[in-house]
Structure 1
Amino acid sequence: MTDLQLMGAITLTSAVLIGAIGLCLVMWARRQSLVAALVVAALVPFGAVVAAVAVNVNAMFLSSHDADVIWFVLAVTSVLAVALAVILGRSLGRELKRVGDEARRLAEEGPDAAGSDGAASVAPVTAELAHLSAELADTRERLAVARERERAADGARRQVVAFVSHDLRSPLAGIQAASQGLRDGVFDDPSTALDGIESAVQRMARMIDDLAELSRPGSDDAPASEPDHARVDLAAVVRDVVAHVLPVATDAGVVLDSQIEDGVVVTGDADDLARLLDNLVANAVRSSGSGGRVLVAAQNADGGVRLVVEDTCGGIAEHDRRRVLEPGFQGDGAVGASGLGLAIVDSVVEAHGGKVAVGSTGEGCSVEVRIPQGA
Structure 2
Amino acid sequence: MIAQLLAAVPVAVACSVPVALLGALLLHRMRLRSITAAVIVLALVPVLAALAGVIGVSGFMYTPQLAGAVVVCAVVAAVTVPAAMMLGRGIARDVMWLHEAREAERAAEAARRQLVAWISHDLRTPLAGIRAMSEGLADGVISDADDVAEYARRIRRETVRLAGMVEDLFQLSRITSGAMRLTFSAVPLHDVVSEAVAAEAVAANRKGVVVRADGGCVWPVVRGSDPELARVVRNLLSNAIRHTPPAGTVVVAADVQDGRARLRVDDECGGIADADLERVFDVAFRGGSARTPGEEAGGGLGLAIARGLVEAHGGGIRVVNHGPGCRFEVDLPLAARPD
What's the TM-score bracket when you normalise by the shorter of the two chains? 0.3 to 0.5
| TM-score, normalisation: structure 1 | 0.41
Q: If you compute each CA radius of gyration, which structure gives the higher value, 1 or 2?
A: 1
- Of the two structures, which has the highest relative contact order with CA contacts closer than 8 Å and spacing of 6 or more? 2
